Structure formats: C-alpha cells, structure tokens
C-alpha cells in the first residue's frame, strides 16, 4: 500500500524505549524523563501576550504570506545583525519557516536530484537523513568523534562523493553531542563548499542556549558564507516555543528563493499572530533567554558532577541542553536505566550508527528530579 520511499526510512529505534516507558508508567512507576529535547519552561509572557493581541484582530485570520510578513523578516534581519553582525536583506535573504524542521525537511527538494549525495553529520538530527531520502538522494555520513571535538574532518570525505554532493549539513551547537564549532571551522567549510560547489546549510537552533559566557557564532559570520549557503534558525529552543512552529532561514538569496518556491507549493506560511509573537520575542528584551540559560546551567552542573561522581567520563558542555554520555551498548544501557531506575535517556544509536557508545540526557527536568535520578542511579550502578 505504501510507496517504497517509506520502506527506506530507518527503523524507529526509540519505539522499544517508548513502549517500555508506557509500561512503567502504567505500573505506577514515577518515570523521570531525560529523553525530551523540548524546554520544560513556559514561553515568556510578553510573547504570549503579543499572540493574544494579534489573534483578536480579524485581519490576522486569513492566509498569511508564503514567505513571512515583512515585519517578521525585518525583525529576523535586525536580530541577525544585532546578534551576529550579519547583514542580510530581509526580502531576498530571509524567509519564515514553520519551525526549522520545515526547512530541514524541505531543503533537499530544492537542491538534490535522485542519486545525488548529501553530507550529514553522524550522530545527527534524524531529519537530515529522512529529508534526503524523500528527495531520493543518498546520505554520506560525516562521522563526529570525540577525538576531533565532534567536528567532521572535511578532507576525509572521498573525492567521488564530493563530486556528487549537493548539500552539506552543519549543526553547532550540536544535537546530540553538545559540541560547539569555532568560526575558523566555518571558514574551512566555506572554502570546501567553494572548491566542490556544495551548498552548506547550517542548523543553528541552539545558538542562544549557552553557558559560562560562551556565545556561539553563526555560520553566516564566516567570510563568503552568504555566497555558499544558508542558516536555519528557530524560536523553539531560544524562547521555549517548540509548540508554536516558527523559525527562519537566512542566507544566500538563490537558495532562499528555491526554498520559497518549494514551500509555496506545500504550505501556506506561519499564522500571522505567531509571527507577531516571534517579532515580540526577537525585538524584545533578551533577559528571558539569559534566565532560561541560568536555569539549564544549574541543572547541567548538578547532573555533570553527579554523573562524574558515579564514574562517567564527561565534561561540562558550553552549549545546548544536552549531555552526551559515553556508555557501552546504548540501547541496553537505556533499557536498564528504565527497567531498574525508571529513568528515560535517549540511546545514541537513535541518532545513527555513529551515535552508538553514548546516551543523551536532556536538561529538561528541574534540579529536584535530577537529584532524585542521580540517587536512583547510585543504587543500581
């Protein structure tokens, strides 16, 4: 009944954990879930208020513009300039997205012909792979290893793959490894993209979730980046807005135009009141972002020192709300944690084979729950 395309999707490896979790909850176990890559904190009130006000205006009840309201695209351009010193034209180099996942899933339709290659990090956000498969492209995994600070080694990509590659994904601060990239790496990537005529798409969803004074750069800060690529960004992680579905793509005008062409044919844009809320978020005080980071930082410190105490070899990440923790056998480790301690962690293999040997903890639980989880782990390990 289904098209062959669906057969090509990788097996859903989280299914076993999900089933086990549901079983535990049914048994009355108080499950502590570190599997969720979704902020537990609420969207700040000034952003919610902007939605409410806009939602009451019937002028906003119609189809939105496909590419984003002018005011939204201007707010994005202004934010990119203020935050990263990147100058992008709001009307040719910025487009709205229904969350960055929308852009991630659809950009292969713009760039990839059947049989072309897409270079994607492994471990990595699963949609880099599935979006490629929907466009009937092939994925070449760029392994991210601890020895190389979880950065891909561009010279290691075989020359024949480079010739057939149309698109390279970069994602820093990185999900799931929590690694960060220096601007010099982005400069290297721009040179590589020029040499091989590859479009770079940077996924910068976590640029604002950072600690200890670290400020993540944008790929677009690299010299020449606007000639070779774009960046996807999102309000989801920065302003606790995962449910709102609003993000943006910024960068090379040709690529943005292509993405606009695909999106015009598959969706009808972001609900205007949601765009007004996004404008309030981008233009408003960024104090709420600093407060959220301070909360994650406290949780990070408690969880990292607790896990170190239990013998895990980890250090404090500079960004993202994830810990990438080395274990032997990620699926069996995750299953044991759930079975014996009622704790959910994400097995690394769910992020591709290169994720094996690790589990991911998300810092989306309050300190009391983290402390309780560490106690339970102390009893079973």
Ligand X SMILES: *Cc1c(COP(=O)(O)O)cnc(C)c1O
Residues that bind ligand X (CB under 6 A): 37, 99-101, 104, 125, 171, 175, 203, 205, 234, 236-237, 242, 247
CB 245 to ligand X: min, Å: 7
| Burial of 92 from C-beta contacts in 10 A (0-12 / 13-18 / 19+) | middle
Least distance from ligand X to the Cβ atom of residue 95, Å:
14
Structure tokens at 146: 């601890």
In Å, what is the CA distance from 54 to each residue of 129, 203, 269?
Answer: 37, 29, 16
Minimum distance between the CB of residue 30 and ligand X, rounded to whole angstroms? 27
Bridge-partner residues for 93, per DSSP? none
Q: Which is nearer to ligand X, 242 or 283 (CB)?
A: 242
Q: Which residues contact 240 (CB under 8 A, 6 or more apart)?
A: 39, 41, 42, 43, 44, 292
**Closer of 241 and 377 to ligand X (Cβ):** 241
DSSP bridge pairs for 201: 169, 230
User: Looking at beta carbons only, is 37 or 122 nearer to ligand X?
Assistant: 37
Min separation Cβ 296 and ligand X, Å: 14
Rounded to a whole number of angstroms, the minimum distance from the CB of residue 234 to ligand X is: 3
Spatial contact of 180 and 318, defined as CB atoms under 8 Å apart: yes
Q: How far is the CB of 33 from ligand X (least distance, A)?
A: 16
Distance CA(187)–CA(226), nearest Å, equals 12
**Tokens matching residue 13:** 């490896």
Q: Which is nearer to ligand X, 73 or 101 (CB)?
A: 101
- Residue 111: other Cβ atoms inside 10 A: 19
8-15: Cβ within 8 A, 24+ apart: 8/133, 9/130, 9/133, 10/126, 10/129, 10/130, 10/352, 13/331, 13/347, 13/349, 13/350, 14/346, 14/347, 14/350
Residue identified by tokens 């513009």 is 65
**What does DSSP assign to residue 294?**
H
Least Cβ distance, residue 247 to ligand X (angstroms) = 4
Would you say 162 or 358 has its CB closer to ligand X?
A: 358
Residue located via tokens 């004074």: 213
**Which residue, 50 or 104, is less far from ligand X as judged by CB?**
104
User: Rounded to whole angstroms, how far apart are CA atoms 237 and 37?
Assistant: 9
Give the shortest CB-39-to-ligand X separation in angstroms: 10
């Amino acid at each position: 009944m289904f098209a062959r395309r669906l057969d090509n999707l990788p097996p859903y490896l989280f299914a076993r954990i999900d089933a086990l979790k549901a079983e535990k909850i049914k048994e009355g176990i108080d499950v502590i879930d570190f599997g969720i890559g979704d902020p537990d904190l609420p969207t700040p009130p000034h952003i919610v208020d902007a939605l409410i006000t806009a939602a009451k205006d019937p002028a906003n009840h119609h189809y939105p513009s496909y590419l984003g309201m002018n005011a939204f695209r201007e707010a994005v351009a202004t934010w990119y300039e203020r935050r990263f010193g990147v100058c992008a034209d709001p009307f040719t180099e910025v487009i709205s997205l229904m969350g960055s996942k929308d852009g991630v899933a659809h950009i292969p339709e713009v760039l990839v012909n059947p049989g072309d290659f897409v270079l994607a990090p492994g471990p990595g956000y699963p949609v880099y792979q599935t979006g490629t498969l929907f466009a009937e492209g092939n994925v070449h995994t760029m392994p991210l290893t601890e020895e190389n600070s979880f950065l891909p080694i561009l010279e290691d990509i075989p020359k024949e793959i480079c010739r057939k590659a149309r698109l390279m994904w970069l994602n820093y601060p990185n999900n799931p490894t929590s690694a960060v990239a220096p601007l010099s790496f982005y400069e290297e990537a721009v040179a590589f993209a020029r040499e091989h005529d590859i479009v770079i798409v940077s996924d910068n969803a976590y640029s604002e979730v950072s600690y200890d004074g670290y400020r993540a750069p944008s790929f677009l800060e690299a010299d020449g980046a606007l000639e070779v690529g774009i960046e996807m960004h999102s309000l989801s992680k920065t302003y606790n807005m995962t449910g709102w579905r609003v993000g943006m793509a910024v960068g090379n005008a040709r690529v943005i135009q292509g993405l606009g062409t695909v999106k015009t044919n598959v969706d009808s844009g972001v609900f205007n009141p949601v765009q007004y809320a996004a404008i309030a978020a981008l233009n408003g005080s960024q104090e709420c972002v600093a407060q959220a980071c301070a909360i994650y930082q406290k949780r990070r410190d408690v969880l990292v020192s607790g896990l170190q105490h239990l013998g895990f070899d980890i250090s404090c990440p500079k960004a993202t709300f994830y810990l990438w923790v080395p274990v032997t056998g990620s699926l069996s480790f995750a299953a044991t944690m759930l079975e014996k301690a009622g704790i959910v962690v994400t097995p690394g293999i769910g992020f591709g084979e290169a994720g094996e040997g690790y589990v991911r903890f998300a810092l989306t639980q309050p300190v009391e729950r983290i402390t309780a989880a560490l106690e339970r782990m102390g009893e079973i390990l």
